[in-house]
Amino acid sequence: MNEVANYRAQFVSQLHAAYRVLSRIAEDALVDIASDDGHMLSYILKYGPCTVGTLGDVFGVKGATLTGQLDRLEKRRLLKRQNNPDDRRSFLVSATPKGRALVYRIGEQVMKLEAEVREKVTDREYASFLKVIEAIRSLDQKTTGEDK
């Protein structure tokens, strides 16, 4: 028990803290959309059209929470849902032209942020970082190789 109380996480807490910083920066730069909505919309543009079930699996969001998020994005005309021709019980989700334009704006901000971070580390440090991230991702049995 004392081990747990005195333990300082080597990866998890540092990744979580870095994620909070990135989320704050993203939300400050993109006042038009919440970071989780932007992330989902970016995924839909890259991999869509995709099923609602796929989005739930990829983002770990289920049921009413996912439906609410999709409703919010659809109401803003950033995405559209249509019947899945391969499965009448499901819908396909795709980005609209307005959604694509927003994703491109998000992409510009992400590229700018990543360039700023890359200026602060060497190529070797960056390569090591990517190895740690890949090691963490390899722990997920559901990882499909797609960027989340």
**pLDDT score recorded for residue 31:** 62
Cis peptide bond prior to 97, omega within 30° of 0: no
Whether residue 8 is contained in a domain is answered as: no
pLDDT tens digits, residue range 49-65? 999 999 999 999 888 99
Top-confidence residue, 13 or 81:
81
Range of the domain at 87: 33-137
Of the listed ranges 32-36, 73-77, 127-131, the one predicted with least confidence: 32-36
Whether residue 93 is contained in a domain is answered as: yes
Q: Mean pLDDT over residues 54-82, rounded?
A: 93
Q: Mean pLDDT over residues 26-32, rounded?
A: 71
pLDDT band at 141 (very low <50, low <70, confident <90, very high): low
pLDDT at 8 over 90: no
Whether residue 6 is contained in a domain is answered as: no
Whether residue 90 is contained in a domain is answered as: yes
Whether residue 52 is contained in a domain is answered as: yes
Number of domains in the chain: 1
Helices and strands (H and E) in the chain: how many: 7, 3
Residue 107: how many CA atoms within 13 Å on its side-chain side? 11
Query: Is pTM, for the whole model, over 0.85?
Result: no
Q: What CATH number does the domain containing 62 carry? A: 1.10.10.10
Whether residue 1 is contained in a domain is answered as: no
Output the average pLDDT for the chain. Answer: 86
**pLDDT score recorded for residue 131:** 94
Whether residue 91 is contained in a domain is answered as: yes
